[in-house]
Chain A
Amino acid sequence: MFWAQLHSRVAIDALKVSMHTSVVSLACIVVFGTPVAYLLGTKRFPGRSAIVTLFELPLVLPPAVAGIALFAAFGRFGILGAQLRTVGIELPFTWVAVIMAQSFVALPFFVRQASAGFASIDAHLMGVSRTLGAGSARTFFRVAIPLARQSLSAGAALSWARALGEFGATALFAGSLQGTTQTLPLAIYDQFSAADLDAALAMSALMVAFSAGILAAVKVITRSSSW
């Protein structure tokens, strides 16, 4: 009975959308967030704390506000959205909007953890790498990334969990179109509103299991001392 609920069209579509979007979001977060975290974790420069605050803002911002902000910027009549529309790009209510909402909200989880990881690397190791003939790029890939990999993986897992659970910003900016932008949390809300409590419960149970799995993975990653 319970499992049958997960075989409904709505649940399967939501699961697919959630998986696709959250994986793409995670990729965006890692690609964009790693260099940012490296700069914030290892360099001291004027304006650094302002940038840190900017990157941490989504942590405390209500997701609905994040959704409104994205809508104001990229919406049909938004500051950037209007310009994009003239070249034929419309972001709201597309799967790209889902990814933007998820990335925006989940990025700080990765950047915080990753920059702490980079900051904890002994500065001598980076210096010695340079004196051994490695340029800054080689030092980044051969020394910084491997030494921060625990923090990077933990940060990635946490931000993935956050992206999967994203609701408010997605609802406002991407809507809840089954098969396109309706992720699991949105489907749960949808089914709940339609008084289909069983379906909502089944999908919720799935998310609980998933979230618990990710948290357990983070614990394992951060506990394993590798060398």
Chain B
Amino acid sequence: MDAPTDKKLSVKVRHRLGRIELSADFEVNGGITALIGPSGAGKTSVLHTIAGLLISDSDSIATESRVLLDTERSINLQPEERRVGMLFQDGALFPHMSVARNVAYGLHPRPRSHRERDARVADLLKRFRIEGLASAKPSRISGGERQRVALARAVATSPEILLLDEPLSALDSVTKGHVSAELSQWLEELGLPSILVSHDFADVVGLADHVAIIEDGHLVQTGSKNDVLRRPASAFAAAFAGINFFPGTAEARGHHTEVRSPDGVVMVSTDTLTGSVGAVIHPWDVSLSLHKPESSAMNLLHGPVLQLSEVGSIVRVTVGSTPPIVAEITAESVERLSLALNRMVYASWKAAATRLVAQDGMV
């Protein structure tokens, strides 16, 4: 480790994982960092390495005050010594113990008497509003309650870090909303550096402050949630955020930059960047029309409507142009244009709406 920094958790992971080489360095400053990426990118392995459940080749993991792992200095705390709280998908509650026993399992510091233990467990149950479930077995309680018990059980160990492995994915969508809001509030109160692994856009938007994108074992982008979701630096991140992303080669042309995609389509941008780039186009900047528009929009694609999906009063329209593009327009516009599947439409957007992000030497 270098000189002590003000970072709360720093992670360096180098690990051979089957066919991929996991290599991720990042720091978590308190707040919640969402680690997202395609399946098999190594997200869960990063969490397990931090928790000490996965033995790695060459790593260092340190909190503000303690070194948990440093292979160079032969420091490797056992999982039980790391004070890392972990929340799993289904809660991973011990099925053979009551809710109260589950919460009591890891009390730290160790209670000196049964009376002290019971009192501390009662406090935790009350804090997480599960006091009515004390003697219930985990199989008899709901998914949302299970996550509350799991959080109470993790908090009972006085953890220094919280790791959340898809904590909401086992819940139905109605419960998910409630639990996400609750969880967000509790995590904020706890103020622990936390890492969230999730496949779900809504989880990330609802819970995370920062986002780190991991692909094929490598971190490709880190930053604040808004930065990463608005200016995704990879096709995966863009797809995750529901944003159009076209890789290509950029060249300056007069006042504009032209981006040529691998399939030969040229897009125009006002951003000045050359070389390998990703063109990011927000769906809400894309207009649709039935006839070739006369407007000043410099980018135009033509193709059939492949998909219409309503999200509230907004409709996401996928146009099967080359390359395919997603536009978000109002339900009124859909009606005005009488859009239907397979109807041919023009998708257009302004040069200023084509945002360019560098593709080599990631952000």
Q: Closest CB-CB distance, A146 to chain B, in whole Å? A: 5
B43 to chain A, nearest CB (A): 15
CB-nearest residue of chain B to A122: B92
In the complex, are the beta carbons of A131 and B137 less than 8 A apart?
A: no
B240 is an interface residue with CB less than 8 A from chain A: no
The CA-CA distance from A174 to B43 in the complex, in Å, is: 59
Does A57 lie at the interface of the complex (its beta carbon under 8 Å from any beta carbon of B)? no
A221 interface hit (Cβ, 8 Å): no
A133 to B90, CA, bound (A): 20
Q: CB distance A130 to B105 under 8 Å?
A: no
Complex interface: chain A residues within 8 A of B144 (CB): none
Whether A128 contacts B86 in the complex (CB less than 8 A), given A133-B106, A134-B106, A227-B137, comes out as yes
Task: Check B80 against A131 for contact (C-beta < 8 Å).
Answer: yes
Task: Report A77-116 residues with CB < 8 Å from chain B CB.
Answer: none
CA distance A128 to B159 in the complex (A): 13
Q: Does A213 contact B (CB under 8 A)?
A: no
A131 near B51 with CB under 8 A, answer yes
The proximity string for A residues 127-168 relative to B, scoring 1 for CB distances below 8 Å and 0 otherwise, is 111111111000000110011000000000000000000000
Residue A124, interface by CB 8 Å: yes
A226 on interface, CB distance cutoff 8 Å: yes
Q: Tell me the bound Cα distance from A142 to B51 in angstroms.
A: 20
Shortest C-beta distance, B330 to chain A (Å), equals 44
Q: Which residue of B lies closest to A134 (CB)?
A: B80
Interface size class of B (residues with CB under 8 A): 20 to 34
Which among A124, A129, A132, A134 has the greatest number of chain B C-beta atoms within 10 A? A132
Knowing A147-B95, A227-B95, A227-B96 are in contact, say whether A130-B52 is a contact too (CB < 8 A). Answer: yes
From known contacts A227-B137, A227-B139, infer whether A130 and B95 are also in contact, taking CB-CB under 8 Å: no
Please, which residues of chain A bring their CB within 8 A of the CB of B85? 131
Partner of A127, one of B86, B94, B139, B157: B86
**B residues 106-151 with Cβ under 8 Å of A?**
106, 108, 137-139
| A contact residues around B80 at 8 Å (CB) | 130-135
A130 to chain B, nearest CB (A): 4
Q: How far is the CB of A145 from chain B (nearest CB, A)?
A: 10
Q: Is A65 an interface residue (CB 8 A)?
A: no
Q: Residue A125 at the B interface, CB < 8 A?
A: yes
A residues near B, CB below 8 A? 122, 124-125, 127-135, 142-143, 146-147, 226-227
Show the binding face of B for A, using Cβ within 8 Å.
48, 51-53, 78-80, 82-86, 88, 90, 92, 94-96, 105-106, 108, 137-139, 153-154, 157
* Complex A-B: 10 CB contacts under 8 Å: A124-B92, A127-B48, A127-B92, A128-B88, A130-B79, A131-B86, A131-B157, A147-B96, A227-B96, A227-B137
